Amino acid sequence: MLVGAAAVVITLAGVKAIAFLVAPAFLALVIVVTASPVQVWLLRKGWPRLLTTVALVTVVYAVILGLVFVVVVSLAQLATILPQYAARAADLLKHATDELARVGVGQQQLREMASSLDLGKLAGLVGSLLSGLGGVLTNLVFLLALLLFLSTEATWADQRLGSIDSDRPWLTAAFHRFASGTRSYILVTTVFGFIVAVLDTIGLLIIGIPVPVLWGLLAFVTNYIPNVGFVIGLIPPALLGLLDGGWKKMLVVIIIYGVLNFVVQSLIQPRFVAGSVGLSTLVTVLSLVFWSWLLGPLGAILAVPLTLLLKALFVDIDPTAGWADALIRMVGRGHEPAAQPAPAVESGLEPEAGPDPKTTKKAEPGQAGADPGEPGPAPA
């Protein structure tokens, strides 16, 4: 037991040390798994494997580079407009410190708070983000290279899984469950994230929040972060609304985001994503905390697919792990687990049952299958 616990700790420490490699690699795997049905469809249509890979990689590259371009342009715009709100931020900060001083907050704490909320530092932070694009581009090149190699290997996935299935069918079934669940989760989250992002962008554009496209893109990305992504995507535009138009404008931003999040992400989206994920809210929150600690920001975005992978490899393949599935699965109407095949058939670990000796008729002597040592009937 102690040896196993020590091995787990050492493994986690190793993964955390190379998180800068593990997180992009798993992100590339999730993208390839999500796009694999398109690749399979093109192969069935008679496309050559090389042409299929090139077409798929080109589309994925175009989407990723387009998103990066929008982020860079929006950050540049944000860096130019933030200094315009310096006077407004100073007035709000002075008013806030005066109110805090009235309730007994010390001057030292007020000075530290004022220093940490300096808008000039925020503008400098945006500038440092732009100047640090070299490291981002390095990670992007690594991600694009992984996508190319994984997409090439994905064209032969059926042969590889067929070889594994002949020896360990339960492992192949686990891979298929992970791929199916991840694909459904990513597709549903992407569609609803895009809807929310477009609606948020339109709402921010109507009320006059600067760089609404950036905040819409932020809402789209944070939609992949379960439970708390909405709050992360709300904070920057709400603060900018406070600087641009005061408390009323900030309140309007919060109302827009709150209504859209409640309707789309709380009422509609769970009806589509629950069947593919099937994880309880507590497990989802704990997985978010764990993977964020282990892999950083990408771990927060990939928390659900990573948890689905662990579930497939350590719970779904074990016929005796039904108790673990019951603990982590979302329960209630519409969340009942699907019927599983018998363990012997699914896992392939037990031999098939032979014929029942009570119902099997013995063969007559001289016929095929008769016991040569058993005497036959007496001759007439």
Residue 241 has pLDDT above 70, yes or no: yes
Confidence of residue 199 (pLDDT cuts 50, 70, 90): very high
Phi-psi region of 232 (alpha: psi -120 to 50; beta: other; left: phi over 0): alpha
Q: Give 117's pLDDT tier (boundaries 50, 70, 90).
A: low
User: What CA dihedral angle connects 297, 299, 301 and 305, to 10 degrees?
Assistant: 170
pLDDT value of position 10: 92
| Residue 60 contacts residue 35 (beta carbons within 8 Å) | yes
Domain range annotation of the chain:
13-101+117-155
pTM score, whole prediction: 0.76
**CA–CA separation, 245 vs 236, rounded Å?**
14
What is the per-residue pLDDT for 113? 60
Which DSSP state fits 296? T
- Residue 120 pLDDT exceeds 80: no
* pLDDT(341) > 60: no
Judge contact between 148 and 295, C-beta under 8 A: no
Among candidate residues 175, 169, 177, 174, the one with its CA nearest the CA of residue 317: 174
The pLDDT value given to residue 274: 61
Residues 6+ apart with CB under 8 A from 142: 21, 24
pLDDT tens digits, one per residue of 257-301: 999 888 887 788 877 776 667 788 888 889 999 999 999 888 999
Are 294 and 275 within 8 A, CB to CB?
Answer: no
Biggest distance spanned by C-alpha atoms of the chain: 121
Q: Is the pLDDT of residue 340 over 60?
A: no
Quote the pLDDT of residue 250: 93
pLDDT range class, residue 114, cuts 50, 70, 90: low
Question: Where is pLDDT greater, at 331 or 9?
Answer: 9
pLDDT at residue 145 tops 80: yes
d(CA 82, CA 351): 70
pLDDT of residue 135: 60
Contacts of residue 349, defined as CB under 8 A and 6 or more positions apart, other chains included, come to 170, 319, 343
Percent of the chain at pLDDT above 90? 25
- Residues contacting residue 232 through CB under 8 Å, at least 6 positions apart: 218, 222, 225
How deeply is 361 buried, as exposed, middle or buried, from its count of CB atoms within 10 A (0-12, 13-18, 19+)?
A: exposed
The pLDDT of residue 336 is 52
pLDDT for 126: 56
27 — pLDDT class (breaks 50, 70, 90): very high
Stretch 124-137: mean pLDDT, rounded?
Answer: 56
Report residue 367's pLDDT band, with 50, 70 and 90 as the boundaries: very low
Calculate mean pLDDT across residues 18-41. Answer: 90
Q: Give me the pLDDT at residue 352, please.
A: 40
Residue, of 376 and 294, whose pLDDT is higher? 294
CA distance 47 to 49: 6
What's residue 270's pLDDT?
Answer: 75
